Structure 1
Amino acid sequence: MELQLREVSEEALSANFLIPPEESLYKGKTLAELCSDSLKDFNSMVCVSAEKGDISSFSGDFYSKFDVVVVSGCTLTTKKLINENCRRLSKRVAFYSVDCRDSCGEIFVDLQNYKYTKKKLDEAVECELKYPSFEEVIAVPWSKLHRKMSKLFYAMRVIEKFEETHQQMGRSSGEISTADLPAVLNLRKQLCQAQSLRESQVPDALLERLVSGRGEFPPVCAILGGILGQEVIKAISGKGDPLKNFFFFDAFDGKGVIEDVSNSDA
């Protein structure tokens, strides 16, 4: 099931092959409705539907009918809210968030207390991992993270914080642009000082790419989507080592990096 209120934009048309190019076919429909219609043609045996409404207004019980919840392009507040709603349920619901900003991307995973099996030599070994929530992860002091931590982790947190602050002032989500770079750099300075982190760990050039990028970059979306799909299958099947708990990709150097960011109790 898909849930999304966003309408079709030029950026969406250039990045999403599930949207029909003819305006007569997409006019008046949300991205979720259009993607749902296209996905139905891929496999008629699978039920695909689109739900209307503000995702942040849905009660926790709404998520109880799912085994996996994946959110994309959500605000910081919405990510924390949905992740917490999944955690409050009596059943375990896997939570993933994925974001693509131009040539960069991030996947976050929360499988809560997760048991799985993996092969070791000729035997199946039972394993268990404990995942922190998204809110717990972003509360981890930067000074406690390892020295070679992905710079994208810090940069994405700066951008999230900037957007959250400006949304509280009445600005719409996704409106960040190159004109905001000076303010973003100033926020970077404030956060680095508060977190006892050198500003060089959050390079100007990286932040500039994140704020100046227009929409999603299809090749990066494809890479993130492929990895995310594999992880969802692992979570459902309970087989194979799952990702814990961040994956970062930057097309600038073509590298994908896994980072385990956990609180002291995890």
Structure 2
Amino acid sequence: MLKSQRLAVLPIDSYDLDSELSVVDGHEYGGEYDTFTFGSWSSHVLANGTGADSDTAFRPHEGSLSLTELGKQLPGIMSMVSSHFPLDRLQWVRIFSLRDGIIAPHVDFLEWAEPGTRVQIPLRTSEESLHSENDTVYHIRRGEVWKIHSTDPHSARSTSKAARLSVCLDFADAEEPVEIRGAVPATEPVRIIERPEPTAAEIEELLGSGQNLTPQTMRAGFRRFAELHFERQAHATAAFDWYVEAARRTGDEDMVAKAQAFRTYCVEKRGDGEAFVW
């Protein structure tokens, strides 16, 4: 069962956002989350607790929301946010960009005792842009408001050459519902992606690719293990099972330990500010 929920649909066509999306396309990204991402993924902060452009690493905070310089350049997007969502619990406003890339399966909020509520709304997307949760793959349409169940393993992939741009809103308190104003009725069912079961030959070919892994190529090599979950019926964390087994086939115990450590970092345990070193 999909735990993430479609909460609403926004009247997104009433906002003229094309010029602002172009601003995001040209905005530089500092690479804070490169450990988790493969291909072109970036995070762009519109509002946070300090208003500083350099304050880009997500963390819970006390106090009010402040616009960054980027947020000040995007009044239409911020107007959409303030028109439809409560601001009293809102802690971060970001835009995630994903183009021909994938995010490793991961669990959010492992660093903190209290998880928050994470909401995403695609502003530009296509059928090639997919989300996943546990063993389910789904597509979020433009303007759909989704509460992401971020404490279970989840991922995202886009094979499109045009960047998918999605607003991410982080609210304090995981239990309190997010009240959404001015929504429009959903006219289409939730889009679940059906995938065939992987064949034994496909799994064996994937595991056999481990013979080409080296300490230098381990990071880049993980991408194909994460990709299969989006194409075949498998749990998101199967990517780590396959990856560890492929590393075992190299006979290099240090590589096995690195593969196991990556799984731990992504879905089991990590500390506040902890960086994974490949």
Identify whether the pair has TM-score above 0.5, normalized to the shorter chain: no
> Which protein has the bigger strand share?
2
TM-score normalised by the chain length of structure 2? 0.26
TM-score normalised by the chain length of structure 1? 0.27
